[in-house]
Amino acid sequence: MAENEDLGDAKRRNFLIKATAAVGMAGAVAACLPFIDSMNPSADVLAKATTEVDLSGIPVGGVHTVAWQGKPIFIFHRTPEEIKAMQATNGIIDPEPDQKRVKQAEWLVVIGICTHMGCVPNKDAAGWLCPCHGSEYDDSGRVVRGPAPKNLYLPPYKFVAADKIVIGVA
Higher-confidence position of 131 and 43: 131
Give the DSSP letter of residue 88: T
Catalytic residue among 64, 77, 116, 133: 133
Cα 77 to Cα 123: distance, rounded to the nearest angstrom? 13
Is the model more confident about 4 or about 14? 14
pLDDT tens digits, 16-51: 888 898 898 888 888 888 888 788 777 776 666 899
Query: What is the pLDDT, as a whole number, of residue 5?
Result: 66
Radius of gyration for the chain, computed over Cα atoms and rounded to the nearest angstrom: 29
Average pLDDT, the chain: 90
Residue with the larger pLDDT of the pair 40 and 101: 101
Q: Which of 3-17, 26-40, 103-117 has the lowest mean pLDDT?
A: 3-17
Report the run of H or E that residue 19 belongs to, with start and end: helix 2-37
**Strand residue runs (E) in the chain:** 51-54, 63-68, 71-77, 107-111, 122-124, 127-129, 136-137, 143-145, 157-161, 164-167
Assess whether 64 carries a catalytic annotation. Answer: no
Is the pLDDT confidence value at 1 over 60? no
